[in-house]
Amino acid sequence: MLPGSILQKLKSAHTDQPGKRPLNFGVYYKNTLVALCHALEDAILAEKHPALMITAFQRGKWYLQEADRYGEIADQAEQIVILAAPDAGFLEHPTSLRSNVSVVSLNPDDPVAVEWHLIIVSPDYTAMVLCQELSEADYGASGFPEDDLERKFYGFWTFEPSLVVETARLAIDHAAPYNPELHRQVSDRLNQIETELQSDSALCHQPKADNLGDVVMRVVSYLRTSEEEHTSHSLDTNLVSNELQAFLRVAQLIDQADVSNPNAAAEVASLAETIGQLLDLPAWQLHRLRLAGLLHRMAFLQQRSELQPETHRYSDDAPSVPLTCPLVPGTQVLRTMQRLRAIATIVTHQTEWWNGSGQPAGLGGDEIPIESRILGLASTFQQELAQRRMADGDSPEALAAALSVCQSQQGDRFDPKLVEALALLVSGLQQGLSLEVVVPKIAAGLWLLDSRSDEDLLSEVSTAMGR
């Protein structure tokens, strides 16, 4: 990373700093970044968020390709700040002359002149893409790509409010020597937004299917369209990896919004995988269990009280899309990605009961996928433990109390043999066994995908539901 660049400053601020979470970086092709940025920008237009937007375009010629689109965004956005090294026509374009658009012409040797940033800040919506182009030496023997869309950038993207605000401050501080008055104005506005973000009415603190779900579906749709337009295998792989990142980032945001249980996804993933190991499940099922655990809270983007209790079956009006369930909006979002259909099925059925009285399909016993049974038990145990952890930590007493809740529902809600496996695991934890809980490196998340036996799982559940 170039010294003095925004990406380098942010990484330094999160390296071995108390209270700062290390950042996970990945490599992105230009076509992936174009799709991501358009999807994130469109949320401003679709949801009419009066956002503050700060962008870095490297050179003015790249901005000119988007300038008309930015004119439309300026109709809705509160303010747009554009950083780029100037080119002919850069400052004269009509969008650049608008009252709520500020252009900062970077010096040619400014390290931000090789960066690509999109930073969107508002109380109801935060998002950013933060990348720096690889140098010619970074490409190695393959050399600089001939196709512009195959240019590579190093960085990451996120919806996390605190991280987006932190980066926005770095970006506007970088603009201070060029335009001190703009720096003062935008800094003041960032202070106001940061205060507004703490309000209970701010959507950033209300993860729901009707806001996060729409944003994720928009991201996936743009990435898929870009994938269809290009045939390069490396480009396709990069796009699919980012589709998965979109879901993992939303799941991460849901955890962060729950101050009482901020590590639920990673802990449930580890618990579910360990229970699967105790049952001697094959590696591909353990792999699938881990991903389902990381995404399990997607099913609860909308409160259960909002569901229609009288409908317990999936609609069959779309036979080409098996297991379409209008009652679980979070898992419907997962189904937009073909390679997550089996994961969506596992997550959907985590709330089924062993005695057949659960939702959404009223499956019972072995009709419920084994992964769904494990996931439902692991998430319940983790929630119970999290409630006790604030007072007692992971003490033997807290572990025993959480296990007792699950044992009390053995044979009704939970599969008896799974509760026995959980009891064995808890016994080990009480005796000093350490359960490794690893937050995944989302930027390198493609390894989580595994399509093996997906069709078998979908077929089994379809048969059970049609009994």
Mean pLDDT across the stretch 24-46? 84
* Cα diameter, the chain: 73
Give the right CATH number for 254-465 from 1.10.3720.10, 1.10.3210.10, 3.10.20.30, 1.10.10.10: 1.10.3210.10
Give per-residue pLDDT as tens, 426-448.
Answer: 999 999 888 877 666 554 444 44
Distance CA 229, CA 111 (A): 32
Mean pLDDT across the stretch 139-167? 82
The whole-chain average pLDDT of the chain stands at 81
Give per-residue pLDDT as tens, 126-145.
Answer: 899 999 988 878 777 777 77
Residues 6+ apart with CB under 8 A from 140: none
pLDDT level of residue 236 (50, 70, 90 thresholds)? low
pLDDT at 318 (0 to 100): 32
pLDDT at 229 (0 to 100): 59
Task: Specify the domain boundaries for CATH 3.30.870 within the chain.
Answer: 6-203
Is the CB of residue 358 less than 8 Å from the CB of residue 346?
A: no
Alpha carbons within 13 angstroms on the beta-carbon side of residue 449 total 21
CB atoms within 10 A of CB 1: 17
Which has the minimum average pLDDT: 141-145, 178-182, 235-239, 272-276?
235-239
Give per-residue pLDDT as tens, 95-110.
Answer: 999 999 999 999 989 9
Is the CB of residue 290 less than 8 Å from the CB of residue 315?
A: no
Distance CA 164, CA 193 (A): 11
Tokens 């595994």 sit on residue: 450
Give per-residue pLDDT as tens, 4-16.
Answer: 999 999 999 888 7
Which of 442, 421, 23 is CA-nearest to residue 241? 442
pLDDT level of residue 151 (50, 70, 90 thresholds)? confident
Give per-residue pLDDT as tens, 299-346.
Answer: 776 533 333 333 333 333 333 334 444 456 667 777 777 778 889 899
Distance CA 343, CA 345 (A): 5
Alpha carbons within 13 angstroms on the beta-carbon side of residue 94 total 6
Query: Residue 228 — φ and ψ, nearest 5°?
Result: -70, -25
pLDDT at 90 (0 to 100): 83
| pLDDT reading at 209 higher than 50 | no
pLDDT at 259 (0 to 100): 67
pTM: 0.69
Sign of CA pseudo-dihedral 309, 310, 315, 316: positive
Residue 89 Ramachandran class (φ > 0 left, ψ -120 to 50 alpha, else beta): left
Long-range contacts made by residues 319-326, C-beta under 8 angstroms, separation at least 24? 322/458, 322/462, 323/348, 323/458, 323/461, 323/462, 325/360, 325/361
Mean pLDDT across the stretch 401-430? 96
Task: Specify the domain boundaries for CATH 1.10.3210.10 within the chain.
Answer: 254-465
pLDDT at 427 (0 to 100): 94
pLDDT level of residue 18 (50, 70, 90 thresholds)? confident
Tokens 């601020």 sit on residue: 13
Cβ-based burial of 342 (10 A; exposed 0-12, middle 13-18, buried ≥19)? buried
Structure tokens at 355: 């005695």
Q: Which CATH class is domain 6-203?
A: alpha beta
Structure tokens at 447: 């390894």
